Amino acid sequence: MNVKLSTVSDKKMDLTCSACGHNFSYKIADLILATSDDTTTHEVRQRAVCRGCGARGNNTYVIV
């Protein structure tokens, strides 16, 4: 699934780190403020840094 943030602006993105299993989430509305509504969820996934172990882009995600 690869969608523009603008199409899911009322939802959340839940990520799970593949390295340590840490769960974290972002409000899509906050991601749009931090990036742009043209950004895709896939780009966010690649940039996301785990707060548990510091791994970048090593995660899975769901839009909820």
Q: Which residues bind Zn ion (CB under 5 A)?
A: 17, 19-20, 22, 50, 52-53, 55
Comparing CB distances to Zn ion, the nearer of 3 and 57 is 57
Comparing CB distances to Zn ion, the nearer of 21 and 38 is 21
Comparing CB distances to Zn ion, the nearer of 20 and 62 is 20
DSSP per-residue string spanning 7-24: GGTTSEEEEEETTT--EE
Cα-Cα-Cα-Cα dihedral of 6, 62, 64, 53, to 10°?
Answer: -100
- Least spacing, CB of residue 19 vs Zn ion, in Å: 5
